């Protein structure tokens, strides 16, 4: 699709479309609405080169993600921004609710950036494949590329470290009724951590009880509400530990357990994932997985600039994780990595 196709379908001149895209002069609300609808229906995205004919560069790198709701993104952004600043670029961060029914175009992409970091479920597979086919530089963050679409990816090891952490609860603390709070359904971190959780149970002869798998969405408020609802059930299933899915959800879980008079870890052991800055200051300090979140942001951004500079880059980078033992699991010592 070209700008001429947009103009023809909207019944306006090419110059009018250009003014709308570049915001050079005011376009009437009626024409703006019509152009937006036509561009959406045609899936037209203006090419950055059309707006930057001299250098074909915007000097901007984009980060596209679904939300910015919790503390996880602080170290990630720190890692990204450090490389962007070193390279003399600027960073644009935008949220976008990607799904197959969303008819809105992503707010950042080829029309206003030189390259894109896509966090987790920031774009659906079809959109990733489309941008890749056009040669637009992208690196995926905390997700693997779609099948047969070789987009570079930087993420962390989830499955084995989760399995080891759950087995620590089982073997060291004799916990067998371990509740798991999932994250967002479409996130690969969620799926991989659930796979590690189930693998640990099955390896140790413990049946998977779907009644002990809840949706915490990796958010403290949602985790708090879900735990309150679970603890308030008249015929609640028994449990002796909680894998919160991530550290942010652990805040909500701990608050709910405390309010229901449950002692941690004496009654209920609690473990998290990420080792965010606050994890060691929770009550009790949180046993968790240390994920190199800042390094993920830095490495992903370095890979993106390699693409921009026409250099080869690794396909999938899997950064290592490690278990950090604190008192919330029942151990009496802190800061010891398994």
- pLDDT score recorded for residue 99: 74
pLDDT at residue 130 in the model:
87
Q: According to the model, what pLDDT value does residue 92 have? A: 96
- Clarify whether residues 230 and 303 are in a common domain: no
Q: Is the pLDDT of residue 30 over 90?
A: no
Q: What is the mean pLDDT of residues 138-144?
A: 97
Say yes or no: 109 and 254 in one domain.
no
| 108 close to 92: Cβ distance less than 8 angstroms | yes
Asked if 102 and 132 sit in the same domain, the reply is yes
At 223, the pLDDT band (50, 70, 90 cuts) reads very high
Return the percentage of the chain with pLDDT > 70, whole number.
93
Over 60: is that where the pLDDT of 284 sits? Answer: yes
pLDDT at residue 1 is higher than 80: no
Least trusted range by pLDDT, from 36-45, 188-197, 297-306: 36-45
Most distant CA pair in the chain, distance: 73
Quote the CA–CA distance of 252 and 223 in Å, as a whole number.
5
Evaluate if residue 327 carries a pLDDT over 60. yes
pLDDT of 55 > 80? The answer is no
Report if residue 35 sits inside a domain: no
In 216-237, which positions are buried (b, 16+ CB within 10 angstroms) versus exposed (e)?
bbbbbbbbbebbeebbeeeeee
171 and 236 both lie in a single domain: yes
Cα dihedral sign for 288, 294, 297, 301? Answer: negative
212 and 63 together in one domain: no
Q: Mean of the pLDDT values across residues 280-292?
A: 97
- 24 pLDDT more than 70: no
> What is the tally of structural domains in the chain?
2
* pLDDT, mean of residues 120-147: 92
Confirm whether 264 is domain-assigned: yes
pLDDT-derived band at 93, boundaries 50, 70, 90: very high
Weakest-pLDDT range from 169-183, 219-233, 237-251, 310-324: 310-324
Judge if 201 and 331 occupy the same domain: yes
Mean pLDDT of 14-21: 82
Question: Are residues 312 and 191 part of one domain?
Answer: no
Per-residue pLDDT for 279 more than 90? Answer: yes
DSSP-derived pairing of the beta strands 322-325 and 336-337: antiparallel
pLDDT for residue 103 is more than 60: yes
For residue 105, what is the domain's CATH number? Answer: 3.40.50.2300
Query: Of the spans 23-32, 38-47, 91-100, 323-332, which averages the highest pLDDT?
Result: 323-332
- The whole-number pLDDT of residue 33 equals 83
Q: Output the pLDDT for position 102.
A: 61
Residue 54 has pLDDT above 50, yes or no: no
Domain range enclosing 142: 3-20+46-155+295-318
Residues 259, 127 share a domain: no
Assess if residue 37 is contained within a domain.
Answer: no
User: What pLDDT band is residue 218 in, cutting at 50, 70 and 90?
Assistant: very high
Mean pLDDT of the chain: 91
The mean per-residue pLDDT over the stretch 196-215 comes to: 98
Residue 131 to residue 117: CA distance in whole angstroms: 12
Tell me the three-class secondary structure of the chain, residue by residue: CCHHHHHHHHCCCHHHHHHHHHCCCCCCHHHHHHHHHHHHHHCCCCCHHHHCCCCCCCCEEEEEECCCCCCCHHHHHHHHHHHHHHCCCEEEEEECCCCCCCCCCCCCCCCCCCEEEEECCCCCHHHHHHHHHCCCCEEEECCCCCCCCCCCEEEECCHHHHHHHHHHHHHHHCCCCEEEEECCCCCHHHHHHHHHHHHHHHHCCCCCCHHHEEECCCCHHHHHHHHHHHHCCCCCCCCCEEECCCHHHHHHHHHHHHHCCCCCCCCCEEECCECCCCHHHCCCCCEEEECCHHHHHHHHHHHHHHHHCCCCCCCEEEECCEEEECHHHCCCCCCEEC
Question: Cis peptide leading into 280, omega within 30 of 0?
Answer: no
Question: What is the structure's pLDDT at 28?
Answer: 84
pLDDT grade, residue 336 (50/70/90)?
A: low
- pLDDT on residue 64: 96
CA distance 316 to 185: 22
pLDDT tops 80 at residue 262 = yes
Residue 203 shares a structural domain with residue 116: no
Same domain, 198 and 312: no
What pLDDT was estimated at residue 82?
A: 97
| Structural domain includes residue 126 | yes
Classify residue 62: in a domain, yes or no: yes
Residue 23: band (very low, low, confident or very high) from pLDDT cuts 50, 70, 90:
low
């Amino acid at each position: 699709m070209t700008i001429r196709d947009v103009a023809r379908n909207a019944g306006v001149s090419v110059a009018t479309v250009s003014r709308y895209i570049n915001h050079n002069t005011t376009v009437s609300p009626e024409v703006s609405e019509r152009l937006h609808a036509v561009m959406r229906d045609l899936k037209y995205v203006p090419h950055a080169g059309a707006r930057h004919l001299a250098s074909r560069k915007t000097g901007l790198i984009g980060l596209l993600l679904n939300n910015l709701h919790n503390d996880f993104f602080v170290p990630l952004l720190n890692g990204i921004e450090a490389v962007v600043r070193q390279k003399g670029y600027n960073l644009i961060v935008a949220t976008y609710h990607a799904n197959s029914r969303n008819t809105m175009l992503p707010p950042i992409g080829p029309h206003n950036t030189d390259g894109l970091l896509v966090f987790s479920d920031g774009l659906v597979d079809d959109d990733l494949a489309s941008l890749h086919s056009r040669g637009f530089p992208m690196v995926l963050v905390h997700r693997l590329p779609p099948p047969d679409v070789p987009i570079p990816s930087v993420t962390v090891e989830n499955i084995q470290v989760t399995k080891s952490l759950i087995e620590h609860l089982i073997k060291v603390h004799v916990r067998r009724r371990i509740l798991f709070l999932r994250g967002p359904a479409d996130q690969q971190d969620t799926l991989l951590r659930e796979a590690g959780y189930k693998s640990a149970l099955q390896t140790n002869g413990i049946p998977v009880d779907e009644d002990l798998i809840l949706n915490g969405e990796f958010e403290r408020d949602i985790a708090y509400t879900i735990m309150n609802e679970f603890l308030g059930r008249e015929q609640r299933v028994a449990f002796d530990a909680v894998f919160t899915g991530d550290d942010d959800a652990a805040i909500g879980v701990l608050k709910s357990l405390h309010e229901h008079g449950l002692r941690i870890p004496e009654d209920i052991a609690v473990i998290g994932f990420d080792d965010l800055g606050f994890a060691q200051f929770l009550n009790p300090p949180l046993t968790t997985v240390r994920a190199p979140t800042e390094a993920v942001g830095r490495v992903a951004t370095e890979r993106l600039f390699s693409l921009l500079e026409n250099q080869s880059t690794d396909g999938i980078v899997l950064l290592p994780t490690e278990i950090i033992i604190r008192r919330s699991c029942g151990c009496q010592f802190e800061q010891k990595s398994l």
